[in-house]
Amino acid sequence: MNDIAPRGIRFGRIAAMLPVKDIRRAHDFYVGVLGFAKTFENGNPVGFMILKRDDAELHLTLQPGHKAPPFNVAHLMVDDADALHALCEADGRRIVKRLQDKDYGLRAFVFEDPDGNRIDVGQRL
């Protein structure tokens, strides 16, 4: 099968959907530590939440049985990887891959959020 979308289709924003066991704990990390703002929530109790900061958008979905996979689930581009790395370390986040300059032009590291979701962070060199 060789179905290719017509060239006239323009793709827009895509947001990472992060499954979390405890949506309040995830909210407190992304809002309180990383500075995102909650722009939407749904359910009673809350089972879905949208967080934004600058051009980044995250969708949190409550999944009580969530088990984080052993791979990165989102890639986040930032202007200052060193500062974000310091915030993650200060909050006790597990650093999966250390901060380093990569041969493909990024200063990068990987951390785990409170639910074990691995976030790959990059800054253009």
Contact by Cβ (8 Å): 68, 112? yes
Mean pLDDT, the chain, integer:
94
Element at 17 (helix H, strand E): strand 16-20
Rounded to whole angstroms, how far apart are CA atoms 105 and 99? 13
Q: What is the mean pLDDT of residues 93-105?
A: 98
pTM of the model: 0.90
